[in-house]
Amino acid sequence: MEKNFQDLCYACRIGDAENVDRITSTGVNLNGVDQFDNSPLFLASLCGHEEVVKLLLKRGAVCDRDRYEGARCIYGALTDAIRDILLQHDISKAVDINQPFVMHISSLIKDNPMDTHDICIGSTKDEKEGWLQLHRFILSARSPKLRANLIDNWKYDYEVTLSTELGMETLEFITKFIYLVPVLHEITAKDYESLIKFSREWEVPILEEFLDKSKHVVDPSEKSTLMADYQYKFTESARHQLLCFVNDNIIRKSIDIGSPANVSQCISDIENHVAFPDILLLVENSEKERRIYPCHLAILSRASYFKMMFTLPMAEAAAYNDLKNSTRHQFFSKLPVISLPACEFEVAEIILRYLYYDNSEIPWEHAIDVLLVADYLQEDRMKSMAAVVMTQSKDFLKKYSIFDILYVAWETRLERLEQFAAKIIAFNLASYSKNPELKRAIEMSSQRISVREETDTIELVDDIRFYLLEKYAFEPEDVELVSEEKDIELLKASEILDYQEENAIIDKLLDELTLQA
């Protein structure tokens, strides 16, 4: 059993929703089972973690009550609330899109308010009003046949008429598949032959394979299982294709530049660039080296910062819209240039891999920088993923101090990291109390209080006191009751004296800072 799946099962048992979200982004099979035949959904429902159950269903976990795994989840649910969620879950959604990047790519041909298409494709049998507005880079990544046409036959074409008698209905189906829109439930018996022919023509073997198998399946439960299995395969196939596209055509084709004079001129032949870019991303590292990545607004707009930049009435949006009305040659010679905040190139590439195909592999060495850039881009999900790496890496605290984590948590407004820092300090209070940085942190926390009440509170101090209770497995009421006990031996045995000594350390620090909390 692969480690990612083991980690997913553990996160489902303990109810760690953020870690479940991170692990599902690695492409792990949500509908697999462990050595005890337990699926992640079963573990989450059995252990009563409602938010994790909802997240797994949203990401594509199957709960078909007519199948053993689905029935087991329903009857094993710890609470009625979870049982109701599973019973009300539409089984057709079991083959729905199960990754945020899939939802984003699907939105590009469904309800996308941004006009980012750069090619229109239609059939000779239909009027042009129904033609499909598509993206060269997605077609190129998903189909070798389409990529060859885009590089050669359709190189200068904005409108492409397919010489086929298959019609727009079939074309729309294959296009939805390419854009990861769930369409398997739409197939009827009369569609199989035309779809198989078109899949073969566009070199989409995985769809052809599914169609060949599905047309011989009659039993609804068996067909549901087949659809769920292949929807997972489709998603992972698309992820791998986008991974290859990003590595081969964006990262390896990035351009190092020496002068900031006019960065777009540094691409000598952008019109023939294999990535089919419509925007350039400029990054400057700590050594003041500069690099351009050929990118796509359709993908960068996943980040709220870039989406606002090109949807609100800003100069970048106006310039981009003007270019959309230019000739193809003019467009490529004047591509807009946007920037990330200064960061290492490795950090920029982690961000790009996440935006294009939800890659969540963040080396711990870059986790803080990824967190800061993600915060700048207003990409909360990636912030959470970076935080998970920081809290779970065994090596992280060998390079960074717990105060580095605390300060970046405050800067990026990540409560998970604040709590993590407070817990580490509380569990090692005797050691950290000798570090002058703890005083500084408490003082900074006191200055973060926006509204003072009758009894002042300092968030960091409150959190440390809370985790001291956890450290000694006490409840507040227990402390009050035991504190009245006069038997010293009993107090020692109950560890109440140790607890009181550690609280006294906090009180001493506050006295030295002339603070109350």
Are 472 and 502 within 8 A, CB to CB? no
pLDDT exceeds 60 at position 75: yes
Query: Among candidates 89, 51, 97, 50, which has minimal Cα distance to 70?
Result: 89
Instruction: Among 150-154, 259-263, 358-362, 477-481, name the one with the lowest average pLDDT.
Output: 259-263
- CA gap 397, 377 in Å, rounded: 26
pLDDT exceeds 80 at position 270: no
Percentage with pLDDT > 70 across the chain: 80
Using one digit for the tens of pLDDT, what is the confidence trace for 368-418?
Answer: 999 999 999 999 889 988 998 898 888 998 899 999 999 999 999 998 899
Hey, how many other C-beta atoms are within 10 angstroms of the C-beta on 111? Answer: 7
**485 contact partners, CB below 8 Å, separation of at least 6:** 491, 494, 496
Question: Per the structure block, which two tokens stand in for 495?
Answer: 């560890």
- CA gap 499, 479 in Å, rounded: 9
| Mean pLDDT of the region 311-326 | 57
| pLDDT score at 70 | 57
The CATH homologous superfamily of the domain defined by 253-384:
Potassium Channel Kv1.1; Chain A (3.30.710.10)
CATH class entry, domain 103-237: alpha beta
Hey, how many other C-beta atoms are within 10 angstroms of the C-beta on 106? Answer: 18
Instruction: Among 7-21, 219-233, 285-299, 386-400, name the one with the lowest average pLDDT.
Output: 219-233
The band of 197, judged by pLDDT with boundaries at 50, 70 and 90, is confident
pLDDT exceeds 50 at position 211: yes
More confident residue, 191 or 365: 365
Find the helix packing angle between 380-392 and 415-427, rounded to 10°.
20
The band of 33, judged by pLDDT with boundaries at 50, 70 and 90, is confident
3-89 shares its CATH topology with 103-237 = no
pLDDT exceeds 50 at position 91: no
| Mean pLDDT of the region 341-346 | 94
The band of 451, judged by pLDDT with boundaries at 50, 70 and 90, is very low
* Letter string b/e over residues 73-102, b meaning 16 or more CB atoms within 10 A of that residue's CB: bbebbeeeebbebbeebebebbbbbbbbbb
Query: What sign results for the dihedral spanned by CA atoms 349, 350, 353, 354?
Result: negative
| pLDDT score at 56 | 87
| pLDDT score at 348 | 97
Using one digit for the tens of pLDDT, what is the confidence trace for 92-116?
Answer: 444 344 578 888 898 898 766 678 8
Amino acid type, 115: D
- CA gap 293, 256 in Å, rounded: 9
| pLDDT score at 268 | 52
| Mean pLDDT of the region 465-480 | 80
- CA gap 418, 396 in Å, rounded: 16
Instruction: Among 22-26, 65-69, 292-296, 434-438, name the one with the lowest average pLDDT.
Output: 65-69
Are 181 and 106 within 8 A, CB to CB? yes
> Which of 157-166, 314-323, 439-448 is the most confident on average?
439-448
Backbone φ and ψ for 84, nearest 5 degrees, come out as -65, -40
* Letter string b/e over residues 331-353, b meaning 16 or more CB atoms within 10 A of that residue's CB: bbeebbebebeebbbebbbbbbb
H or E element, residue 291: strand 290-295
Instruction: Among 52-61, 230-239, 429-438, 480-489, name the one with the lowest average pLDDT.
Output: 480-489
| pLDDT score at 2 | 80
- CA gap 282, 293 in Å, rounded: 7
| DSSP for residue 435 | S
Percentage with pLDDT > 90 across the chain: 31
| DSSP for residue 32 | -
> 3-state DSSP call for residue 284?
strand
pLDDT exceeds 80 at position 165: no
| pLDDT score at 283 | 94
- CA gap 43, 47 in Å, rounded: 6
Share the mean pLDDT of the chain.
82
| Mean pLDDT of the region 18-40 | 81
More confident residue, 269 or 233: 233
Q: CA of 73: how far to CAs of 38, 53, 63, 143, in Å?
A: 9, 10, 7, 38
Question: Per the structure block, which two tokens stand in for 86?
Answer: 């599973």
Name the pTM for this structure.
0.78
Q: Which CATH architecture has domain 3-89?
A: Alpha Horseshoe (1.25)
| Mean pLDDT of the region 505-515 | 88
Please provide the DSSP assignment of 253-273 as one string. T-EEES-SS-GGGG-TTGGG-
- CA gap 432, 422 in Å, rounded: 11
| Mean pLDDT of the region 12-36 | 83
Domains of the chain, residue spans: 3-89, 103-237, 253-384, 401-512
